[in-house]
Amino acid sequence: MANPVETGRMAPSLRRMLLPLALAQFICSFAGSNMNVMINDISQDLHTTVQGVQIAITLFLLVMAALMIPGGKLTDRWGRKRCFTMGLSIYAVGAVLSAAAPGLGVLILGNSILEGVGTALLIPPVYILTTMLFHDLRSRAQAFGIISGMGGIGAATGPLIGGFITTTITWRAAFVFQAVVVVLIVFLGRGIQDPLPADPTRPFDTIGAILSAAGLVTLVIGILAADNNLVLCALLIVAGALIIFGFFAWVRSRERVGKEALLSTKLFRNRTSNLGLVTQNVQWLMLMGTSFVVSAYLQVVRGYSAIKTGVIFTAATLGILVSSLAAGSLAKRFQQRTLILIGFVTTIAGVVFLLLIVKHSPSEWAFAPGLLLIGLGLGVMLTPSVNVVQSAFPEDQQSEISGLSRCVSNLGSSLGTAIAGTILISGLTDPTRSYALAMIVVAAVGFIGLGVTFSLRSPEPASAA
């Protein structure tokens, strides 16, 4: 295994291994947002509705969240490199199937299910391998900065690239693009070294995996049902909460008798990590909630094309790119808690701007300043939130915390699309009012994240360490 450079500079061998890991995070985040600008095209081509496309997008994010913890645990049993490669293979099959989908059902199978399962297998190894390969705080911060930045850029460029492909070719070509990128990642990832051998004898908590996935799926589907049946919505949310409660009861019962559970309750005894997980959830909820609401509003209400909607989102892409590139130098100068605070304040300001301009400006470019602020804010805080959580645990717990961390982040993404999207879609008879209400909810969640960050304690800057 390659050793990190003592000065904190990244060794060439590590940079070569980091590239496919960062690209993997990019393409998975890209997949979560690129369909936002295809809403009209997909609904017309597959003879479905805006809500049908929303369900497909939300289910993709939800499958990732529901299976991320089991995916993290399987890295110990099957090996991190093997899980990474298997996940990429399943993802590629899903992308090709989505490109050829004759209807919404096949699109959900390919995109929501297969791509979601593939992502749940390949993303935990990305963060586990990064934590294991980069030992000093500075190089690890740089690595997480690149990976988190690529994730943010993927989510932000999804509308732009997806819009360009949809308008110039067809929305189906966007899934072909994903499959091509996955093949490139497999090729570049040949030299990735797994620091620890796989342990096929490691037990796997199947019942715990089923309970955790069933609870999360039921909860989010309940939120999606709010548009059609409030009684069913309430029943599903309560049922989901009870299943999740049952999952934790099951975990505690296994720990009491000395058996390995899907998720150790020790992970929730670290206050810093718990608060960091909340900030991750809120960040991705704000990013994906805003992305879906603004994209749907521009296409369905204002009638913009996919490429025009994507170009408007260039402002968010630019913001994330600029702040992500500065992540390394910012980590040397500021505490991670400070960066997260700055990020939340900037992001909330962007959401408030998007809320205020909708009534007062018919110009599409009026959305650009708000999206730029959101991009800058998210780019500043994505990396420190991940680093705070991952660095709070030793190497032997990295598979668990990585799965939990990615689960919480993707749950935030699915909740953002489900909650904000449902508010928007349910009020399309008065689109300006429903848009405003959806953005108010996103801003309110942002204030929750800001309040949590004030209680967060983080390590000293990398230069001080």
CA quadruple 433, 438, 439, 442: dihedral, nearest 10: 160
Q: What pLDDT digit, counting tens, does each position of 94-134 carry? A: 999 999 999 999 999 999 999 999 999 998 899 888 878 87
Amino acid at 222: G
pLDDT of residue 170: 94
pLDDT of residue 155: 77
pLDDT-wise least confident of 145-154, 323-332, 409-418, 454-463: 454-463
pLDDT of residue 7: 43
- How many residues comprise the chain? 465
Contact 243, 215 (CB under 8 A): yes
How far, in Å, are 29, 39, 154, 263, 396 from residue 328 at the CA level? Answer: 21, 36, 19, 32, 26
Q: How far out from the chain centre does Cα 416 lie?
A: 10
Give the CA count within 13 Å in the CB-facing half-sphere of 403: 25
Phi, psi of 102 (to 5 degrees): -85, -15
Tokens 């993404």 correspond to 413
Intra-chain end-to-end CA distance of the chain, in Å = 24
For the residues 252-274, what does the mean pLDDT come to?
88
pLDDT of residue 426: 76
Average pLDDT, the chain: 86
pLDDT of residue 398: 67
Contact 348, 404 (CB under 8 A): no
pLDDT value at 461 more than 60: no
pLDDT of residue 6: 39
How far, in Å, are 8, 112, 242, 278 from residue 238 at the CA level? Answer: 49, 24, 6, 21
pLDDT value at 262 more than 70: yes
By the 10 Å C-beta count (0-12 exposed, 13-18 middle, 19+ buried), 325 is classed as middle
pLDDT of residue 460: 41
Phi, psi of 323 (to 5 degrees): -70, -30
Q: What pLDDT digit, counting tens, does each position of 136-170 carry? A: 667 777 787 788 778 877 877 888 899 899 999 99
Neighbours of 360 (CB within 10 A): 7
How far, in Å, are 335, 338, 339, 340 from residue 450 at the CA level? Answer: 15, 11, 11, 8
Residues 6+ apart with CB under 8 A from 33: 154, 155, 156, 158, 159, 162, 288, 291
Q: How far out from the chain centre does Cα 355 lie?
A: 23
pLDDT of residue 137: 67
pLDDT of residue 64: 86
pLDDT of residue 127: 83
Q: Both tokens of residue 394?
A: 């030793």
Q: Which of 263, 306, 327, 251 is nearest to 53 (CA)?
A: 306
pLDDT of residue 27: 93
pLDDT of residue 165: 94
pLDDT-wise least confident of 229-233, 323-327, 416-420: 323-327
Q: How far apart are CA 322 and CA 153, in angstroms?
A: 10
Under DSSP, is residue 396 helix (H, G, I), strand (E, B) or coil? helix
CATH number belonging to domain 12-204+262-454: 1.20.1250.20
Q: Which of 135, 127, 163 is nearest to 25 (CA)?
A: 127
Q: What pLDDT digit, counting tens, does each position of 158-215 carry? A: 888 998 999 999 999 999 999 999 999 999 988 888 888 888 888 889 999 999 999 9
pLDDT of residue 465: 34
Instruction: Report which listed range, 57-71, 85-99, 155-169, 429-443, is most confident.
Output: 85-99
Q: Which of 371, 373, 376 is nearest to 297 (CA)?
A: 371
Contact 390, 405 (CB under 8 A): yes
Q: How far out from the chain centre does Cα 443 lie?
A: 18
pLDDT of residue 10: 62
pLDDT band at 245 (very low <50, low <70, confident <90, very high): very high
Left if phi > 0, otherwise alpha if psi is -120 to 50, otherwise beta: which for 451? alpha
For the residues 354-366, what does the mean pLDDT come to?
77
Amino acid at 366: A
pLDDT of residue 186: 94
Q: Both tokens of residue 227?
A: 């548009």
Domain ranges in the chain are 12-204+262-454, 205-261
Q: What is the DSSP letter of 3?
A: P
Q: What pLDDT digit, counting tens, does each position of 305-338 carry? A: 888 888 888 888 888 878 877 766 777 788 888 9
Residues 6+ apart with CB under 8 A from 78: 86, 198, 200
DSSP notation for 365-391: GGGHHHHHHHHHHHHHHHHHHHHHHHT
What percentage of the chain exceeds 90 in pLDDT? Answer: 38
pLDDT value at 9 more than 70: no
Q: Which of 124, 119, 32 is nearest to 69 (CA)?
A: 124
